[in-house]
């Protein structure tokens, strides 16, 4: 028996497929929930285009009704048996008006398509814009919640695309429904029994569409699980970051095999589901054909008994065919919307959830440079991680202008603590004070303006070198780039920038034609320059030299010393030789602060810090001896 791919846990957001969710009411609720947010976006994105779209389609429907009534007159004249000369005289007015009605329909359809062409891109733009705005406004801690992050990824990657397509479907549905209503009104005008005959033809196909929708929802659970697994492998296989290691390990066949383990069952599942749906639709269409035969038989009987004349019967046939075609188009669009309802729900739910995750703050303005930062018994738990606390019982004090170091083994909570000090996270327990004021009382944006961060893996913005530095303070007024160039000089990044083809205007991304990439050390120098340009009183250095060689590390530390001048600095590093000159060292272990003091004090204490420092020193000496040998 073939090995089955590992199953991803069914997400909480999936559409339930129990018996209660299979009825017409449940399906209509899902369709309504998918249509409502799309209509809301469309109304805000292009209200004028919507008005033109609706007006033009109403005009097309009115022209269709008029055309059917005129067609009856034309057929009446043609079947009246009058002489040729009289026939032309009687036909000319009706045919002329029929031509006008057809021209109106063509013009209205052209106006509708033009309005749709303006509407759809604006809907896509607004949908993307809302996702990005919501993602950028939420609290940083939300990104550490796997459920929230998963929702954001799905809404971003697929929600806007499906909203764009549903907007097109809604336009087509409106056109089809108006066409059905127009033909139905014409039939009602011609003879009320003709409308009853039309319903006989519609009922079977409507039943088939409902049955297909039930089958679609029943298979959605398995489709989601297989699709997510296959997509994750595909994204990894085509990732630039993973490309080198996959090839170095000669793992191409393994990765392809892993993809096929999910892709092939997905393919088989989709084929099976599509086959069952096709059979259901075929039965519905066969029954619909039977309904049409009964309708035409009824027309023949009404014609035979004299209830209808031949001109009226001919007009009814054309109206029934037109209505049947429009009804089928409407069902196709509704079925497509039902397939996309899950992704629209993802999009709508994420926006609602993001609105509750916006970083909350008070109304006070933080000091330009706090004289003292105090942590009082601070604890922190990441969202969604109930099994352990990342930090607990942290109490410390930082004076203005001090350089302090947070050290400890990997996973001890150093970066988390730094983000708490900076106000990027809010403590789950305890409080953080800037000059005796709780951080939660400060305005969020004003607090962020007081902090600059240089990370181990800095942001590599796919723009010019100038854009990468300006990102540190995008709204800072510096029209001549004087402050920007000064920041680059202080960070020793000028030589990096001047060595690029195009200098400050060089595109720093190999993802684009003509783009250029930098080494890790060069990116770090740009990150330091960005931090200097930001000009914030509190600076966080988060493992800024971890991936660098000794020469690059020395250059970056020289830049960091310049950045830290007259500022309060929090240094995070695992290289204890780099922290001997700092004012205070705080040693963390498993989320707890177990030692603090200067380097000399901690070495005399001979605790965990001293033990780790001596271990690193021995490793460094051993490495130097081996290199000399």
- Confidence bin at 420 (pLDDT 50/70/90): very high
Rounded percentage of the chain residues whose pLDDT exceeds 70: 86
Phi, psi of 420 (to 5 degrees): -65, -45
Q: What angle do CA 389, 150, 338 make, to 5 degrees?
A: 145
> Are the C-beta atoms of residues 453 and 540 closer than 8 Å to each other?
yes
> Can you tell me the distance from the alpha carbon of 376 to that of 363, in angstroms, rounded to the nearest whole number?
22
Is there a domain that residue 321 lies in? yes
- Overall domain count for the chain: 3
Other beta carbons less than 10 A from residue 489's beta carbon: 14
| Coil vs helix vs strand at 320 | helix
Contacts 24+ apart (CB under 8 A), 273-279: 273/215, 273/216, 273/219, 273/223, 276/215, 277/212, 277/215, 277/216
Q: Are residues 488 and 531 in the same domain?
A: yes
State which of 535, 558, 587 marks the end of a domain.
535
Beta strands at 429-434 and 403-408: parallel, antiparallel or unpaired: unpaired
Q: Are residues 225 and 179 in the same domain?
A: yes
Is there a domain that residue 23 lies in? no
> What's the chain's length in residues?
629
> Can you tell me the distance from the alpha carbon of 303 to that of 312, in angstroms, rounded to the nearest whole number?
9
Instruction: Give yes or no for residue 78 having a pLDDT over 60.
Output: yes
Q: Are residues 263 and 285 in the same domain?
A: yes
Residue 272 Rama label (left phi>0; alpha psi -120 to 50; beta) = alpha
Query: Which of 127-136, 201-210, 251-260 has the weakest average pLDDT?
Result: 201-210
Is there a domain that residue 90 lies in? yes
Q: Are residues 293 and 213 in the same domain?
A: yes
Is there a domain that residue 22 lies in? no
User: What is the model's pLDDT at position 83?
Assistant: 66
> Can you tell me the distance from the alpha carbon of 604 to that of 582, in angstroms, rounded to the nearest whole number?
16
Is there a domain that residue 12 lies in? no
> Are the C-beta atoms of residues 27 and 213 closer than 8 Å to each other?
yes
What CATH number corresponds to the domain at position 334? 1.20.1560.10
CA gyration radius for the chain? 35
Q: What is the pLDDT of residues 325-348, one digit of tens each?
A: 888 888 788 878 877 877 788 888
| Coil vs helix vs strand at 512 | coil
> Are the C-beta atoms of residues 373 and 434 closer than 8 Å to each other?
yes
The token pair at 597 is 């003091």
> Can you tell me the distance from the alpha carbon of 342 to that of 514, in angstroms, rounded to the nearest whole number?
40
State which of 356, 374, 391 marks the end of a domain.
356
Question: What mean pLDDT comes out for the span 248-267?
Answer: 83
Question: What mean pLDDT comes out for the span 174-178?
Answer: 90
Q: Are residues 152 and 193 in the same domain?
A: yes
For residue 206, CA distances in Å to 278, 285, 327, 332, 583 come to 14, 9, 9, 11, 77
Question: Which residue did the predictor score with more confidence, 408 or 220?
Answer: 408
Domain range for 522:
462-535
Instruction: Give yes or no for residue 12 having a pLDDT over 50.
Output: no
Work out the mean pLDDT of the chain and round it to a whole number: 82
Q: What angle do CA 205, 210, 213 make, to 5 degrees?
A: 125
Q: What is the pLDDT of residues 347-404, one digit of tens each?
A: 888 888 888 877 677 889 999 889 999 999 999 988 777 667 889 999 999 999 888 9
Q: Are residues 565 and 421 in the same domain?
A: yes
State which of 535, 555, 571 marks the end of a domain.
535
Q: Are residues 179 and 279 in the same domain?
A: yes
Q: Are residues 70 and 127 in the same domain?
A: yes
Question: Which residue did the predictor score with more confidence, 175 or 545?
Answer: 175
Instruction: Give yes or no for residue 627 having a pLDDT over 60.
Output: no
Q: Are residues 431 and 474 in the same domain?
A: no
User: What is the model's pLDDT at position 579?
Assistant: 86
> Can you tell me the distance from the alpha carbon of 305 to that of 12, in angstroms, rounded to the nearest whole number?
62
What CATH number corresponds to the domain at position 549? 3.40.50.300
Is there a domain that residue 175 lies in? yes
Instruction: Give yes or no for residue 56 having a pLDDT over 90.
Output: yes
Q: Are residues 412 and 398 in the same domain?
A: yes
Q: Are residues 387 and 274 in the same domain?
A: no
Q: Are residues 300 and 411 in the same domain?
A: no
Is there a domain that residue 491 lies in? yes
| Cβ-Cβ contacts under 8 Å for 563 (sequence gap 6 or more) | 452, 454, 490, 491, 528, 531, 532, 539, 569
Question: Which residue did the predictor score with more confidence, 491 or 109?
Answer: 109
Question: Which residue did the predictor score with more confidence, 359 or 517?
Answer: 517
pTM, 2 dp? 0.73
Q: What is the pLDDT of residues 519-529, one digit of tens each?
A: 888 888 898 88
User: What is the model's pLDDT at position 6?
Assistant: 43
> Can you tell me the distance from the alpha carbon of 535 to that of 537, in angstroms, rounded to the nearest whole number?
7
Contacts 24+ apart (CB under 8 A), 105-114: 105/60, 105/63, 105/64, 105/67, 108/56, 108/57, 108/59, 108/60, 108/63, 109/56, 109/60, 111/52, 111/56, 111/59, 112/52, 112/53, 112/56, 112/57, 112/60, 112/171, 112/175, 114/52
Phi, psi of 521 (to 5 degrees): -65, -40
Task: State the residue for tokens 């730094």.
Answer: 418
Q: What is the pLDDT of residues 532-579, one digit of tens each?
A: 898 889 999 888 766 566 666 666 666 666 666 778 999 998 888 888
> Are the C-beta atoms of residues 375 and 586 closer than 8 Å to each other?
no
Question: What mean pLDDT comes out for the span 204-220?
Answer: 69
Is there a domain that residue 435 lies in? yes
Query: Which of 62-66, 224-228, 419-423 has the weakest average pLDDT?
Result: 224-228
Question: What mean pLDDT comes out for the span 61-76?
Answer: 85
User: What is the model's pLDDT at position 9?
Assistant: 44
């Amino acid at each position: 028996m073939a090995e089955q791919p590992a199953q991803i846990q069914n997400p909480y957001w999936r559409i339930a497929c129990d018996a209660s969710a299979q009825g017409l009411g449940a399906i209509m609720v899902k369709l309504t929930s998918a249509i409502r947010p799309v209509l809301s976006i469309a109304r805000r994105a292009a209200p004028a285009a919507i008005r033109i779209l609706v007006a033009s389609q109403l005009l097309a429907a009115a022209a269709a009704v008029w055309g059917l009534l005129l067609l009856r007159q034309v057929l009446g004249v043609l079947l009246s048996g009058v002489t040729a000369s009289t026939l032309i005289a009687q036909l000319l007015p009706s045919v002329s008006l029929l031509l006008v009605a057809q021209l109106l329909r063509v013009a209205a359809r052209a106006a509708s398509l033009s309005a749709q062409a303006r509407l759809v891109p604006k809907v896509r733009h607004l949908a993307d814009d809302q996702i990005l705005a919501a993602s950028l406004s939420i609290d940083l801690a939300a990104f550490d919640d796997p459920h929230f992050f998963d929702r954001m990824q799905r809404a971003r990657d697929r929600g806007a695309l499906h909203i764009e397509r549903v907007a097109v479907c809604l336009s087509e549905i409106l056109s089809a429904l108006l066409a059905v209503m127009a033909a139905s009104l014409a039939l009602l005008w011609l003879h009320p029994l003709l409308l009853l005959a039309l319903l006989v033809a519609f009922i079977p196909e409507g039943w088939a569409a409902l049955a297909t929708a039930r089958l679609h929802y029943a298979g959605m659970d398995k489709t989601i699980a297989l699709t997510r697994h296959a997509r994750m492998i595909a994204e990894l296989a085509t990732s630039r970051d993973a490309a080198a290691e996959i090839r170095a390990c000669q793992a191409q066949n393994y990765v392809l095999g892993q993809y096929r383990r999910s892709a092939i069952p997905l393919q088989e599942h989709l084929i099976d589901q599509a086959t069952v749906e096709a059979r259901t639709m075929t039965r519905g269409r066969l029954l619909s054909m039977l309904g049409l035969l009964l309708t035409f038989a009824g027309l023949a009987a009404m014609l035979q008994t004299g209830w209808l004349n031949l001109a009226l019967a001919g007009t009814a046939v054309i109206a029934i065919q037109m209505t049947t075609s429009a009804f089928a188009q409407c069902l196709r669009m509704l079925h497509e919307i039902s397939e996309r309802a899950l992704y629209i729900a993802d999009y709508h739910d994420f926006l609602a959830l993001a609105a509750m995750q916006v970083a909350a703050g008070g109304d006070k303005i933080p000091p330009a440079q706090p004289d003292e930062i105090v942590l009082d018994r601070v604890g922190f738990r990441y969202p969604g991680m109930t099994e352990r606390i990342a930090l607990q019982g942290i109490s410390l004090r930082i004076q203005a202008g001090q350089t302090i170091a947070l050290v400890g083994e990997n996973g001890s909570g150093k970066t988390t603590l730094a983000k708490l000090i900076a106000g990027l996270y809010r403590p789950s327990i305890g409080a953080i004070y800037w000059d005796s004021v709780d951080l939660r009382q400060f305005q969020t944006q004003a607090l962020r303006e007081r902090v600059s961060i240089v990370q181990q893996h800095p942001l590599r913005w796919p723009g010019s070198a100038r854009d990468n530095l300006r990102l540190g303070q995008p709204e800072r007024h510096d029209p001549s780039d004087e402050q920007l160039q000064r920041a680059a000089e202080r960070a020793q990044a000028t030589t990096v920038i001047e060595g690029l083809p195009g200098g400050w205007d060089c595109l720093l991304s190999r993802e684009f034609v003509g783009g250029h990439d930098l080494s890790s050390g060069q990116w770090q120098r740009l990150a330091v320059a960005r931090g200097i340009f930001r000009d914030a009183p509190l600076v966080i250095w988060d493992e800024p030299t971890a991936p660098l060689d000794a020469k690059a590390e020395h250059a970056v530390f020289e830049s960091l010393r310049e950045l830290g001048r007259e500022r309060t600095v929090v240094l995070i590093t695992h290289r204890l030789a780099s922290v001997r000159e700092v004012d205070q060292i705080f040693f963390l272990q498993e989320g707890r602060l177990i030692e603090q003091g200067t380097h000399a004090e901690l070495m005399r204490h001979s605790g965990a810090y001293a033990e780790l420092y001596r271990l690193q020193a021995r490793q460094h000496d051993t490495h130097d001896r081996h290199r000399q040998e």
